[in-house]
Amino acid sequence: MTASDAMTAPIPSFDDDEEDGGRKLVMICSKGSLDMAYPGLVLANAALGEGIETHLFFTFWGFDIINKKTMAALKFTPVGNPATHMPQMLMGLPGMTSFATHMMKKQMDGLGVPDVPEFLDLIHGAGGHLWACRMSADMMHLEEDDLYDGVEAIISASDFMEISAGAQTIFI
């Protein structure tokens, strides 16, 4: 490209000059149902793809997302969720949660959205940081070996404060 062309051709900035003073995002994942696991995972993956330093902190029911025993088997229940636009009286019937979960997984799959363990691999591979909450681990009698391998450590609430310093924090 000649000098005069270079002046006229726009070049995307990609914000490369921001260096490490750039954006930092922390998401607190506190829910263990399938539909509440996805927002954190989708946003974390998107943030990482934009070069944003990203941390996920799993606490309380959110532990099911990183617990090796449960992470591939999260469920979705339509009970108490008016946004399913289904008669609420029927939603609590036996088998309804399995059915709704099956339907949701099928929909996600059709959209090319990975399941939870693959999503964690994706985020871990992209340099995302995964942290587990100390108190929840103690409550549920879980240790690091019980958790997804990419989880960096089980940390305390004060540790979390240090990690989240200066970050935009989202509670899910």
Partner 1 sequence: MPVVTIHEREVHLDEEGFLTDPSEWDEQLAHELAANIGLELSPRHLEVIAFARADAAEHGETPTLRRMTAVGGFPTKELFQLFPKKPAKKLSYVAGLQKPVGCV
H/E stretch holding 95 reads: none
Handedness of CA 150, 76, 61, 81 (dihedral sign): positive
Nearer to partner 1, 34 or 142 (CB): 34
Contact region for partner 1 (CB under 8 A) — 2-10, 54-62, 71-79, 148-156?
A: 2-10
Contact region for partner 1 (CB under 8 A) — 75-83, 107-115, 129-137, 150-158?
A: 107-115
Residue 16 makes contact with partner 1 by CB under 8 A? yes
Separation CA 163–CA 96 (nearest Å): 40
- Mapped onto helix, strand or coil, the DSSP state of residue 148 is coil
Contact characters 129-168, partner 1, x per CB under 8 A: ----------------------------------------
* DSSP assignments along 29-47, one per residue: E---SHHHHHHHHHHHHHH
Pick from 72, 127, 138, 168 the residue near partner 1 by CB under 8 A: 127
Pick from 50, 138, 143, 149 the residue near partner 1 by CB under 8 A: 50
What strand order describes the sheet that includes 24-29?
A: 151-155, 129-133, 53-58, 24-29, 168-171
What is the length of the chain?
Answer: 172
Nearest approach, Cβ of residue 1 and partner 1 (Å)? 5
Separation CA 16–CA 163 (nearest Å): 23
Nearest approach, Cβ of residue 91 and partner 1 (Å)? 28
Footprint of partner 1 (CB under 8 A): 1, 5-6, 8-12, 14-16, 42, 45-46, 49-51, 111-114, 122, 125-127
